[in-house]
Amino acid sequence: MARISVTVDGVQYVDDVQPRTLLVHYLREQLGKVGTVVGCDTSNCGACTVLMTDPDGDAHGVKSCTVLAMQADGRSVTTIEGLASPDGALHPMQRAFHEQHALQCGFCTPGMIMAAVDLLQDIPDPTEEQVRKGLEGNLCRCTGYQNIVRAVIAAAGAQRGAPSASEPESEPEAAPEAAPAAERAEPAVTA
């Protein structure tokens, strides 16, 4: 057994783990962070993506099925459960996924959201192509990705303070009022 000290979603944990324990299993089985899902156990699907700090303290997306729990010793990890604010307000990315209907079965959603948060740390105003490229390592078998891409772009705008598609920048001008029906009618033809 190895003793590790890791901060997960803002709470420090000191635990004994088997040297071969994967971070995803530590999070789920020892800490109860079941929002981080096990998809393929081979790093192909990205469903288990979490944010983990590097030695410099910068957080980056990692596939937690490829990281040993021991490698998280002394680091901070953020899971999908830790993304919302303490008062329960959704993170802009979580809100955008909801508003843009960017999920179907929801299995890939936690990892997709975490990967998208990581992407926006590097590219705060991504193009559609950059979003698609940035999420290449996360597979979705249901949605076709269109709404996922829209959600990431909407979240990027929300984080920059730009209005979302559902909030126009300014009120549209009012249409001119239609004339009363009596004024529009053609004069009656009399014989």
Give per-residue pLDDT as tens, 80-120.
999 999 999 999 999 999 999 999 999 999 999 999 999 99
Please tell me the distance from the alpha carbon of residue 125 to that of residue 123, in angstroms, as a whole number: 6
Q: What is the amino acid identity at position 23?
A: L
CA-closest candidate to residue 94, choices 78, 122, 116 = 116
Domains annotated on the chain, with CATH: 2-82 (3.10.20.30), 92-160 (1.10.150.120)
**pLDDT number for residue 162:** 76
**pLDDT number for residue 122:** 96
Is residue 44 within 8 A of residue 37, CB to CB? The reply is no
Q: Which residues of the chain have pLDDT under 50?
A: 165-191
**pLDDT number for residue 169:** 42
Q: What is the reported pTM?
A: 0.82
**SS3 of 50, please?**
strand
**pLDDT number for residue 144:** 83
Residues 6+ apart with CB under 8 A from 117: 51, 61, 83, 91, 93
CA-closest candidate to residue 165, choices 150, 178, 179, 177 = 150
**pLDDT number for residue 163:** 63
**pLDDT number for residue 167:** 43
**pLDDT number for residue 43:** 87
Q: CB count, 10 Å around CB of 58?
A: 10
